[in-house]
Amino acid sequence: MAADQEHVSRVEKRRRTEAAISDAARTQFAEVGFERTTIRSVASAAGVDPALVMQYFGSKDGLFAAVARQQKPHRRLLDATREGTPQAALDDLFEDLEDPVSRDALLALMRNCLTHEQAATVLRDDVMRHVHEAVASRIATPDAELRAALLGATLVGLSIGRYMLRIPGLAEASREDVERLLLPVLALLVEPAPQA
């Protein structure tokens, strides 16, 4: 216990407090959504005063934007996604969903994308755009855009159904089983010439 009594500099203290607020906000945005998350509940979970949250993040929307921006590490997987194969896209998604931080950051976007314009914009124009472009660029037929969009919509449906709606049969399934069934299906979606 006394081990925590180490001296921490002011900047370090500030950094830790901001991180505590940000962690609490990310979790609550992901679990109960933007509207049901209150500045007060985030501050309480982080062990600070609500006014401090305002001081550090400006507003509730600013707090959400900060959390949404944390999803950026996902883009380190951008190179892998640039492959444009369903395998790479699915791997990216599952990898994101296994790390607690990027998982909650991504779920915060998805949970609120239907009721919060900013969440929808970030999800559509920042996250999905990458896989869309990578996939579409590998398809030669004129319906490439639609095929890529359908792949994105399917991955969104998978995430929502598995982690949020918790559809029976999908929520409990192993990642391996999901991949085994979904990969050939997504491959067919992306292949320009199904008849062969």
Shortest Cβ 54–DNA spacing (Å): 4
| Residue among 133, 87, 83, 130 at smallest CA distance from 106 | 130
Binding residues for a second copy (CB under 8 A): 32-33, 35-36, 110-115, 120, 123-124, 128, 132, 136, 143, 145-150, 152-158, 160-162, 164-170, 173, 177-178, 181-182, 184-185, 188-189, 194
Residue 59 as a binder of DNA (CB under 7 A): the answer is: yes
Shortest Cβ 55–a second copy spacing (Å): 26
**What part of residues 4-23 is at the interface with DNA (CB under 7 A)?**
7, 9-11, 13-14, 17
Task: Label residue 130 left, alpha or beta by phi (over 0 means left) and psi (-120 to 50 means alpha).
Answer: alpha
Residue 195 as a binder of DNA (CB under 7 A): the answer is: no
**What part of residues 28-47 is at the interface with DNA (CB under 7 A)?**
37-41, 47
Cα separation, 40 vs 24, whole angstroms: 11
Burial of 6 (0-12, 13-18, 19+ CB in 10 A): exposed
CA distances from 51 to 16, 54, 55, 68 (A): 17, 5, 6, 21
Q: Give the binding site for DNA (CB under 7 A).
A: 7, 9-11, 13-14, 17, 37-41, 47-52, 54-55, 59-61
